[in-house]
Amino acid sequence: MIIGAGGVGRVVAYKCAQHPEVFSHIMLASRTKSKCDAIAKDAVAASGHQNFTTAKVDAENVPELVALIKSFGPDMVLHVALPYQDLTIMDACLEAGVHYLDTANYEPKDEAKFEYSWQWAYQDRFKDAGLTAVLGCGFDPGVTSIFTAHAAKHHFDEIHYLDIVDCNGGDHGKAFATNFNPEINIREITQKGRYWENGQWIETEPFEIKKELNYPNIGARNSYVLYHEELESLVKNYPSIKRARFWMTFGDEYLTHLRVIENIGMSRIDPVMYNGQEIIPLKFLKEVLPDPGSLGDNYVGETSIGCRIRGIKDGKERTYYIWNNCSHAAAFKETGAQGVSYTTGVPAMLGAEMMMTKQWLKPGVFNVEEFNPDPFLAKMGEYGLEWQEAFDVDLEV
């Protein structure tokens, strides 16, 4: 059962429908049923899947959700709605006795604060119920953590420096648009930066650390250190890491728009009174910005996301770069969604396949790097996200 019918939900629906041998019965449920119906129509037309249904659900209403899960009877819920719904969906999964997977960690609505503590607190309940919850199985978090697990398993005795680099080298032709839910995206990038060094978190001003990095097939792009959720679990699961950072590219135009949005108060998440009615400026802004799901048409260029790693193997220092490039146009041609939705939806579907085929199934709550990366990476290229690696290269960071 897939919850959420946005850009990522579209890709997940398409990809699951392509694999009826794993996903024999699919339900796509979301707040707006007409969006589910439109996606289902396209996904079924493209794949010929025989058992694809849709439903309306408010994922913040646990009894409603439990009733829907019980009526459909899935093995698992694939949550690609919004991070605000993580906990209610986890509660419903426990009550209905099904496995859980998501792509983004819980955030309370009234505070832009993302950390795993709320979801890690479900560990005993999932364990006792014999159920699995897989957290953060998109691209970043998701594949970046699986890349790190692969590096740790096959290429390093100890990882010392980890730099996750996320470049969107694409152009959608709009003056300003976000590539996934604008509310979630703007909350994330206007936060203070944070990275891990020598056993502690170092905080920076937003966009304080900047470097020009070169991305395969794209070239040089200004890249900025920001906080990203997978750092929290990676430094816990790989204690040899001395420094872990996350870099994302932003163009000057984008940053100018963002600065104006902040300066005029449109990124505020506290309610203001307007015409006798409470509105949240950032939620209003979301309504007037382009829908990320509509960006695919004419979106050119590629994304390039990967991990640049320095550490020790057999007593010698080594550098290693592992990455995926994804073409927006190819993603759109296949699924009707742009590359950012595609690079999130494919890993979510593949993670679900790992669970359905019992390769990633153990009772409890886990981040993706806690599972065997091999079967996942063995299939990722075939499912649309080829990955590449290079040894002993200049990491630039």
Out of 23, 52, 120, 139, the residue judged to bind ligand NDP by CB under 6 A: 139
**Is residue 30 involved in binding ligand NDP (CB under 6 A)?**
yes
Out of 142, 169, 296, 364, the residue judged to bind ligand NDP by CB under 6 A: 142
**Is residue 293 involved in binding ligand NDP (CB under 6 A)?**
yes
Stretch that binds ligand NDP, among 77-85, 268-276, 311-319, 351-359 (CB under 6 A): 77-85
**For residues 150 and 154, what is the distance between their CA atoms, to the nearest angstrom?**
6
* Residue 216: CB minimum distance to ligand NDP, A: 19
Name which of 292 and 311 has its Cβ closer to ligand NDP. Answer: 292
**What is the maximal distance between C-alpha atoms in the chain?**
68
**Is residue 35 involved in binding ligand NDP (CB under 6 A)?**
yes
**Is residue 82 involved in binding ligand NDP (CB under 6 A)?**
yes
Out of 42, 60, 115, 370, the residue judged to bind ligand NDP by CB under 6 A: 60
Stretch that binds ligand NDP, among 116-124, 133-141, 231-239, 356-364 (CB under 6 A): 133-141
Size of the site for ligand NDP (CB under 6 A): 34
* Residue 128: CB minimum distance to ligand NDP, A: 27
Name which of 103 and 190 has its Cβ closer to ligand NDP. Answer: 103
* Residue 62: CB minimum distance to ligand NDP, A: 11
Name which of 169 and 311 has its Cβ closer to ligand NDP. Answer: 169
* Residue 34: CB minimum distance to ligand NDP, A: 9
Give contact residues for ligand NDP (rule: CB under 6 A). Answer: 4-9, 30-32, 35, 57-60, 80-83, 85, 103-104, 138-142, 180-181, 184, 292-293, 340-341, 344
